[in-house]
C-alpha cells in the first residue's frame, strides 16, 4: 500500500518538476507573474516556473510583419481611393507589452488602420502617388510614438497599393495627355520666339551692311541652282552693283 502511495507521490513530484521547467529560445522572453503580481522577465534559456504560485507569458522579440487591411481613404482633394500597407515592428519591452495593453498585436493593427486613414486623408492624390516615402515616414513616426507606451518599436511602414476606380484612371490619363500637349506648345512657342529674335538681329545686321544683302542673295541663288531649277532671275540693281564692283 505504501509502495503504491510513494509511487503516485513520486510521479506527481516528477510531473510538477517537468511542468516547472521551461525553455525559452533566444528570441523569446518570459514575463513571470507571482501570485498575480509582476515579478520579473526571464530568458532566454532554461528557467524554472513554480507551478500554481507563478505563471509565465511568452513574448517574442523578433520583427513582426503585419499587413494593414485595405482602407477606404478620401484624399484632401476629395478623391476616394483604396489603400493598404505593411507595418514592421517588434517588442522591445516585454513587461509593457503584456501589462500595458491587451493583445498588443490587435492593438497595433487597429492603430495602424486609423493612422493610415488619418494621415493620407490630409494629402492630395498626387502626393499619395508620387511622395510615398514621405508619407511612409510620417505614418511610421506617429505609430512609433503612440506604441512606445506599449513597449513596441515600429521600425518601418510601407504603403503597398493605392487603387483607383476606372473613371479616375481615365481622368488622370486625360490630365497627363493635356499636360504633355501644353508642354509641347510651350516648347514650340519658345522656339518660335527665339527664331524671331534671331531674324530681327539678322535684319538689323543686313540693314547696316548693304553688301551683306547682296551676299545673302547670291547664297540663295547658289542654293536654288543646286535644285532642279532652269530659270534664275537676277535683279537689275544687283547686276549694276556687280558691274561697278568689277570695274
Give the residue among 165, 161, 157, 156 at the shortest CA–CA distance from 128.
Answer: 161
Number of H helices, E strands in the chain: 8, 8
Task: Give residues with Cβ within 8 angstroms of 161, minimum separation 6.
Answer: 70, 82, 83, 84
| CATH level 2 (architecture), domain 64-164 | 2-Layer Sandwich (3.30)
Residues sharing a CB contact under 8 Å with residue 28, sequence separation 6 or more, in sequence order: 43, 44, 58, 59, 60, 61
Q: What is the pLDDT of residues 1-35, one digit of tens each?
A: 566 667 777 777 887 888 889 999 999 999 999 99
pLDDT digits (tens, 9 = 90+) for 201-213: 766 665 666 556 5
* 30, 41, 91 from 96: Cα distances, Å: 12, 11, 9
Cα 164 from Cα 125, distance rounded (Å): 10
156 pLDDT above the threshold of 90: yes
**For the chain, percent of residues with pLDDT exceeding 70:** 73
Burial class (CB in 10 A: 0-12, 13-18, 19+), 245: exposed
Handedness of CA 110, 115, 118, 121 (dihedral sign): negative
Distance (Å, rounded) from C-alpha 98 to C-alpha 57?
Answer: 8
Cβ proximity of 31 and 56 under 8 Å: yes
Ordered by start, the domain boundaries in the chain are: 2-60, 64-164, 166-208, 217-247
- Beta carbons within 8 Å of 168's beta carbon, 6+ residues apart: 79, 81
Distance CA 223, CA 165 (A): 59
Q: Which three cell numbers stand for residue 135?
A: 508619407
At 20-75, the pLDDT tens digits run: 899 999 999 999 999 999 999 998 999 999 988 999 999 999 999 999 999 999 88
Amino acid at each position: 500500500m505504501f509502495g503504491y502511495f510513494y509511487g503516485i507521490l513520486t510521479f506527481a513530484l516528477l510531473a510538477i518538476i517537468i511542468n516547472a521547467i521551461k525553455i525559452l529560445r533566444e528570441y523569446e522572453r518570459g514575463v513571470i507573474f507571482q501570485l498575480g503580481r509582476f515579478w520579473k522577465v526571464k530568458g532566454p534559456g532554461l528557467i524554472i516556473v513554480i507551478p500554481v504560485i507563478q505563471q509565465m507569458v511568452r513574448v517574442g522579440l523578433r520583427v513582426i510583419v503585419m499587413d494593414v487591411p485595405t482602407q477606404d481613404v478620401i484624399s484632401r482633394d476629395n478623391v476616394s481611393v483604396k489603400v493598404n500597407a505593411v507595418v514592421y515592428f517588434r517588442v522591445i519591452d516585454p513587461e509593457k507589452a503584456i501589462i500595458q495593453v491587451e493583445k498588443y498585436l490587435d492593438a497595433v493593427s487597429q492603430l495602424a488602420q486609423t493612422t493610415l486613414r488619418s494621415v493620407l486623408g490630409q494629402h492630395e492624390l498626387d502626393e499619395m502617388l508620387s511622395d510615398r516615402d514621405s508619407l511612409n515616414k510620417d505614418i511610421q513616426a506617429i505609430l512609433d510614438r503612440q506604441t512606445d507606451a506599449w513597449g513596441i518599436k515600429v521600425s518601418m511602414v510601407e504603403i503597398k497599393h493605392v487603387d483607383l476606380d476606372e473613371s479616375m484612371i481615365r481622368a488622370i490619363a486625360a490630365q497627363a495627355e493635356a499636360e504633355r500637349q501644353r508642354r509641347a506648345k510651350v516648347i514650340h512657342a519658345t522656339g518660335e520666339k527665339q527664331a524671331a529674335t534671331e531674324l530681327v538681329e539678322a535684319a538689323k545686321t543686313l540693314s547696316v551692311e548693304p553688301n551683306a544683302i547682296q551676299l545673302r542673295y547670291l547664297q540663295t541663288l547658289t542654293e536654288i541652282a543646286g535644285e532642279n531649277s532652269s530659270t534664275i532671275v537676277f535683279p537689275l540693281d544687283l547686276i549694276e552693283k556687280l558691274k561697278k564692283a568689277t570695274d
